Structure 1
Amino acid sequence: MTAKKTGYYCQKCGHFTSRWMGRCAGCGEWNTYVEEVVISSPKRGVMERREEPRPLDMVEPVDGQRRSTGMAELNRVLGGGVVPGSLILLGGDPGIGKSTLLLQVAGAVAFAGHRVLYVSGEESPQQIRLRADRLGVNSAGLYVYSQTNLEAVEEQLAKVNPALVVVDSIQTMYLSGITSAPGSVSQVRECTARLMRMAKEQSISVFVVGHVTKEGMIAGPRVMEHMVDVVLYFEGERHQTFRILRGVKNRFGSTNEIGVFEMSGTGLSEVTNPSSFFLMDHGSRDVAGTVVVPTLEGTRPLLVEIQALVCPTSFGLPRRMTTGVDHNRVALIMAVLEKRMGLMLGNCDAYVNVVGGVRIDEPAADLGIALALASSFRERAIDRRTVVMGELGLTGEIRPVTALDKRIREAAQLGFGCCIVPRQKGLPGQGTFRIQQAATLAEAFDMVF
């Protein structure tokens, strides 16, 4: 009997080494190497069929249409629905609602007349039934199976013949031919490859739940995210009711779209108008340090409220804290305010927050952040019926933003009366909605204050 060859795999990135090392050479993390049996099987490919190369115009197009998930917000993020034969990875913090979302999707697809297999390695069928009753999910086409052995799952696939499979979660699945524990790099990588091969060969859409680390990244080797077709992250604060579904990889559509849901006692409900949802606490009076900014998430305009608080520091080094916006971007905007507008912010603490927990990455919010900081510093309120947008340059100029007509139209529909935008030609008219153009930060200050 020959001894099995072992090696050391990093549990963060999957880097392999023949001897133990304190620090990973791949990702730089400390104490992440775990000894595992080296898998020497040559059959790791997703597609094993032998075919001859063909010209692209001779390849048959895909006949299957996208399958609706029963949720318009999820369909939006996926690019219109689930593609047959795709493998979708869903990650998120514990308790954020991943299993709830996928159980509702499984119930909706089963209700539409398709067979669905829900595989759980963490819950018993009785526990799943309790949650299904609470969510109002009850369909004869939804099959529940509690199993962690992936070979056993494949046997049931041949019997049930489902159109959709949900695996909750990939860290609990294992293959008997691999001696390492479930959740290890070898198990996660090989199980993902087996699921991908199964999805492609049988044209089954597969949803896989992935645990996340304390840094918010999906646990397991990074190669897992490269193997799957779609990677989704479920975000949100546990003490708040809303959830945001964001796509970070999508082979069948855009990654700029987001889906907004609201968590309740009966499950997740879709938020069809996110702007009004995030602005429902927007005050009825003018308050210094607040401003509304129209942002763009994919093709959807989204109005969010930015709040800033500037106060004299009590320590030798001023504090800079941000939530929902990039910390370095705020520091840059404060430097522009101090250099170009003469606001002495060097001895002040500054706190910037995007209400509702939304994260803004686009530069169109620069002008809103600058005006909110200046409003708090000067103790002068901005009209609550005014929205602002624009990218801020280092010389104090305001640069144009994309999809300006969509942002203006969304603000007008929600009852705002004025919008400050970068100076450009061909701005659309919106009836009584007033549009003011500013080329520099000084001009925007004159309009607002």
Structure 2
Amino acid sequence: MTATPAHTALWPAPHARGAVDATVHVPGSKSVTNRALVLASLASEPGWLRRPLRSRDTLLMAGALRALGVGIEETVSSSSSPAGAGTPTGPGEAWRVIPSTLHGPATVDVGNAGTVMRFLPPVATLADGPVRFDGDPRAYERPLHGVIDALRALGARIDDEGRGALPLTVHGGGGLDGGPVEIDASSSSQFVSALLLSAPRFNQGVEVRHTGSSLPSMPHIRMTVDMLRAVGAQVDTPESGGEPNVWRVTPGALLGRDLTIEPDLSNAQPFLAAALVTAGTVVIPDWPERTTQPGDRLREIFTEMGGSCELTERGLEFTGSGAVHGIDVDLGEVGELTPGIAAVAALADSPSTLRGVAHLRLHETDRLAALTKEINELGGDVTETADGLHIRPRRLHGGIFHTYDDHRMATAGSILGLAVDGVQIENVATTAKTLPDFPQLWAGMLGN
């Protein structure tokens, strides 16, 4: 008998038979891990990343940097070591990143990872030789024009046959002059982050001026700025008294650091949602008191939808009240949370309006169309708006929930399955993009 391919296999989403009561250790942040990999690779000395996320997106980033000549050694530390001893300062997995002269020719597989396809073309301009970028079929549909046009304006030579998308080749010249550049980053804040991350290595640094209307996912730009400053870069931002929509990075050497990666707070979303939906309690250890991660907004949003939370020595303790309320919320800065919030909203006691997320049509899939179709096929009542979704709760029934190779669609379907018997998730394996072993973590939370 021929085995069913993983991408077509159906996973019966576990149905909650009562209130969940669990502690869930969420792996490290993809956004922090991939930014840290880039910065460590451009540093003037080796650095450590502790508790990095091992997922498809981060392994693609590590593999791409290795192809450019960076040394990335994976180790497991079982005991603490004194700071400055040249080894990680705590237990767990760690990656030692050893910068080197970047070189081509090289080929980079971006998969469908926005951070890889957007953060690495600027890095490739610093390489000596051509670097070809390719990826999954869906990656060809995702916009890269913001990065491509900006790099060309800064002096880079890029062949993309006018597509503004993959596949493309960056002809690295061993450096880039840099300087002022205007871009429209309204379709992705990653365009700004991509230029800022490599800017300290440009001869003149960079001055990025966003010329579009709205700028989505601002927390991710603040994350980039904070991480640059942590490794010694000088960054001027609108928040620090600079011009609106302008970021300046001064050229200079970057320091190697010993960085512990925070848990991925956006990946904590389905587990917190489980507490909300089942009137249970979930604890997420190591939730930071201060963070630039967009997922931190979940504390506010899910509390408004009927839960309560508290930061304790155990971590973030989140408890559902037994009621799930609708919400009217602008998710423009935290768009990645939309699928999970939409799933909870479909189970609420009143309608919800999710606004400010038109850019989700350009994510791993068209998330607004996908959520509308999949929830409605389970009996829901979801309509697309110009910039989001309107969700009117209805009694749902079982059925197949398609994921479109989108990890957040898979976790959204799993949330619905808690309250709706008979939901089957197509290609739950796509969660490996950012949340390895999700089915096992989910079953463990439910005590299965």
Query: How would you bin the TM-score normalised by the shorter chain?
Result: under 0.3
**TM-score, L = length of structure 2:** 0.25
Bigger Cα Rg: 1
More helix by percentage? 2
Q: Which has the higher contact order (CA 8 A, sep 6+)?
A: 2
